[in-house]
Amino acid sequence: MRGPHNIWRLIVTGATMERTGAMGAILDAMDAPRPIRIVARMVAWPFRWLGYKGDPTMPPATRALSALGPAYIKFGQVLSTRPDVVGDEMAQHLRVLQDKLPPFPVEVAKASFAAEMGIPVDQVFSEFSKPVAAASIAQVHKARLTDTGEEVAVKVLRPGIERAFRKDIDAFYFAADVIEFLSPASRRLRPRDVIKHFEGVVEGELDLRLESASASEFAANTVEDAGFQLPSIKWHLSGRRVMTMTWAEGLPLGDNAALDAAGHDRAALGERVLQLFLSHALRDGFFHADMHQGNLKVAANGDIIAYDFGIMGHIDEYTRRVYAEILFGFIQRDYMRVAEVHFEAGYVNSHHDVDEFARALRAVGEPIFGMDASHISMGRLLNYLFEVTERFGMETRTELILLQRTMVVVEGVARSLYPQINIWEVAKPVVESYILQSIGPRAFAQDLVRTARVLARFGPRLPQLMETALIRQSEPPPKPPRLGVRRGMVWMVAGVAVGMAGTLSVLWLG
């Protein structure tokens, strides 16, 4: 599906950003270098008439991203949690993208439910409301079960959402090809692998059966977590395009005025959001990877309620230990140990100097300690981290993309509740607890037991596996494939400048 239509999609992206005024607004808010701003505006301006007009009642950035489609809306949701990067005003504007998008008619939702479940809505529900929340992929209706009177939430996918996402992802693949072709240095960031990872996440979010399964597993893992609630799934009323769960009653986590009026401690809520995320990621290796304000509520008793389980992250035990040691090293300000962990895990090639890398990490970590978050520019910190990774040739770790992205989102949520929060002080007890349990004599003994079980299970097959490996090793290596220019590059020159201008303004943080 790679071809001219992808160039056209990128051209439309840049034109839409310019026509709505979003390009200048986003680049200014993110403090992009002046040459980048000038070039982007000059390249996109002649094509602005090709862009989507969008809803003129919306602010520029919100107007452009909502007009461009669900993939761009997803990125806007991330930016809405980062007032320190895009500014308070734009963050407030982008927050509309979380759950206040234009809904589709309730009649369409009822028809989708009936087609999916094979049961008329009136036969199951005594009440079925208009949309109470509309996001980029689905919308939610409040309903009441006829047989029990219980209030439930019914989530229904948007009509045609699968095709819309496919078009955007296809264009993103083309953009990744263009970037790799024009900038060989960018290949260490593995842009195609990043898009492939994003594609897998999106495909999982478009099947509500998988979301129901994720919600069930997440509930089993967190049943004993204090101050945390999850809605339960109604499996007999859930399918691929429809999901029904118990209704979560509470105040939106992003409504600070309502939280203050209800007497909730916002500082405590911010700390709990961070600690819950770290506990789920480190302890369970399975975490909610879309924890923005639109997916979180606060119950009357102060519990945090999470919902919308379309994007869940999973990391294996080894990666969790590496991540925990890196965090713990930063917390202890032991930059040499942090550097050693990067080398041991293969994140940095062994030909680099570990002492030099440790000094670079110290320059990243030291400004954090001894000051509250309101005095730290996360934008400058991220820029410097990028420079460090480029200098030491670190490749993008696709297994950590979702974890890193969610950490940024969760920190933004916590900061919106309590601007002075210090993520390192809040994270310290969670990380220390995990270190004590997973790195030590007890964990070593558990690893030996697991290894013995695996060897016992595969013991009868070991001779055959060794013989197969020896045969393959003796075979001559295959001839390398001929290098060639990707099909479609002949179409690249006409549209790449405008497309990159629009993509740059949207993906500046990446």
Tokens of 14: 């840049």
| Cβ within 8 Å of residue 304, ≥6 positions away | 227, 228, 229, 253, 269, 272, 273, 276, 296, 297, 298
Sign, CA torsion 314/409/251/91: negative
Contact 428, 369 (CB under 8 A): no
Contact 423, 373 (CB under 8 A): yes
Contact 186, 163 (CB under 8 A): no
Catalytic residues: 290
CA–CA separation, 453 and 245 (whole Å): 39
CA–CA separation, 265 and 267 (whole Å): 6
Q: How far is CA 60 from the centre of its chain?
A: 23
CA–CA separation, 471 and 448 (whole Å): 30
Among 336, 358, 347, 246, residue whose Cα is nearest residue 297: 246
Sheet with 125-134, edge to edge strand ranges: 125-134, 138-145, 151-157, 242-246
Contact 82, 378 (CB under 8 A): yes
Domain segments of the chain as ranges: 4-100, 161-204, 251-439, 445-473
Contact 81, 292 (CB under 8 A): yes
pLDDT in tens, the chain (510 residues): 455 667 777 788 878 888 888 777 777 766 666 666 676 677 677 777 777 888 888 888 888 888 887 777 876 776 665 665 566 677 777 777 766 677 899 999 999 999 999 999 999 999 999 999 888 788 999 999 999 999 999 999 998 888 878 877 887 787 777 767 766 666 666 677 767 766 777 777 788 999 999 999 999 999 999 999 999 999 999 999 999 999 999 999 989 999 999 999 999 999 999 999 999 999 999 999 888 888 899 999 999 999 989 888 888 888 888 888 887 887 788 889 988 988 888 888 888 899 998 998 888 778 766 565 555 554 455 556 656 766 787 765 656 667 777 887 888 888 889 888 877 788 888 888 888 887 666 666 666 776 776 667 666 777 777 777 777 776 666 665 554 444 443 333 334 344 444 444 444 433
Tokens of 407: 């950490």
DSSP-assigned letters across all residues of 102-115: PPPPHHHHHHHHHH
Percent of the chain that is helix, strand, coil (3-state, to 5): 65, 10, 25
